[in-house]
Amino acid sequence: MTTLTLTKHHGLGNDFLVVFHPGDVDLPELARQVCDRRRGIGADGLLVGESHPELAAEMTLYNADGSRAEMSGNGIRCFAQALAARRGSGTAPLRLMTDAGARSIELAETDDPATISASVDMGPVESLGAPAGWAALGAHPDRPVAHLGVGNPHTVVGVDDVAGVDLAALGRQLPDVNLEIIHPGPEPNAVTMRVHERGVGITEACGTGACAAAWAATHWGLVAAGTSELVVHMDGGRATVALDQPEPGRVTLTGPATYVATIEIPCP
């Protein structure tokens, strides 16, 4: 029997296990086992690193239920931290391949040696059609809604108070999309967001969701016209989204990634 070495990281409480070159294993089943919070290690997702002929590495994401996802804004920061530690490359910039395409990451040290700050070019935010089940949901017609792609699918809904919504019940009715509910504030250039992620459930933060929420907030007028950088407050903390960066039509996400532990598990 061999062992697999995994590292655990979190981005604002959205936690991931990272493994490099796991070999011939059933990755969806591995994700279900190690992400289980009672019978495994516990995480929202498993990030798998492999070599890439042109970029620093290729990252594949499996949700806690074993389903494969295209992209994670918090996950890619955690993966970048794990890769930088593995390579001994410090805060050198990284370019990674994901199922949503190539992404560039700038890293910076923080006062906490276990935590880095990472800025990720998340690509363009694109309009999508409504997800399956949306029409049957019977959403209030006065609520602003946006169906958006940030490499993965999102539905953003404006509400009066995110604390007053049964997000778990709402999310269960839309299993094929990441669902964000937002309200403006508390600062003038900020929104508050809660998220239900497909394949996982309610999480403390979502990086791609923060990008979708920031895009929606500017288009709905929840922040002042001309705002180019928004703070997105989530249950696990705050991230910053810069609009039209690094070029028009694209968004850049900045937030922390924190190393938690290194774990070895048996692998038959």
User: Can you give the chain as a three-state secondary structure string?
Assistant: CEEEEEEEEEECCEEEEEEECCCCCCHHHHHHHHHCCCCCCCCCEEEEEECCCCCCEEEEEEECCCCEECCCHHHHHHHHHHHHHHHCCCCCCEEEEECCEEEEEEEEECCCCCEEEEEEEEEECEECCCCCCHHHHCCCCCCCEEEEECCCEEEEEECCCHHHCCHHHHHHCCCCCEEEEEEECCCCCEEEEEEEECCCEEECCCHHHHHHHHHHHHHHCCCCCCCCEEEEEECCEEEEEEECCCCCCEEEEEEEEEEEEEEEEEEC
Tens-binned pLDDT, residue by residue, of the chain (268 aa): 689 999 999 999 999 999 999 999 999 999 999 999 999 999 999 999 999 999 999 999 999 999 999 999 999 999 999 999 999 989 999 999 999 999 999 999 999 999 999 999 999 999 999 998 898 887 777 789 999 999 999 999 999 999 999 999 999 999 999 999 999 999 999 999 999 999 999 999 999 999 999 999 999 999 988 899 999 999 999 999 999 999 998 999 999 999 999 999 987 6
Give yes or no on whether 2-121+255-267 and 126-252 have one common fold.
Answer: yes
Where along the chain do its domains lie?
2-121+255-267, 126-252
Cβ atoms of 9 and 260 within 8 Å: the answer is yes
**What's the CATH architecture for 126-252?**
Roll (3.10)
**What's the CATH architecture for 2-121+255-267?**
Roll (3.10)
pTM, two decimals, is: 0.95
